[in-house]
Amino acid sequence: MRLYHLKRMDQIGWDEYVEKLVAANSPERAREIANENTGDEGKIWTDATMVTCEELKLPSDEGAIIESFNAG
């Protein structure tokens, strides 16, 4: 199993997904899985002109994978 980071390249609106982290055996399957649950953006996740799909290399050392910080 591999991890894929899918990220939109178009303009983001309200009630839409911006990016997804998906476990799959291939980038094509990761895109299909991403399309299974969408917001108002619709089923764009298989469109390579609108969404990037990058396989993530897992580090060999311990550490945080995702951190999200929004300063207010």
Predicted structure pTM score: 0.84
Burial class (CB in 10 A: 0-12, 13-18, 19+), 35: middle
Q: Which helix (H) or strand (E) holds 2?
A: strand 2-8
The series of mean pLDDT values per 10 residues for the chain, 72 residues long, is 94 92 96 96 97 91 79 70
Confidence (pLDDT) at 64: 80
- Where exactly are the structural domains of the chain? 2-56
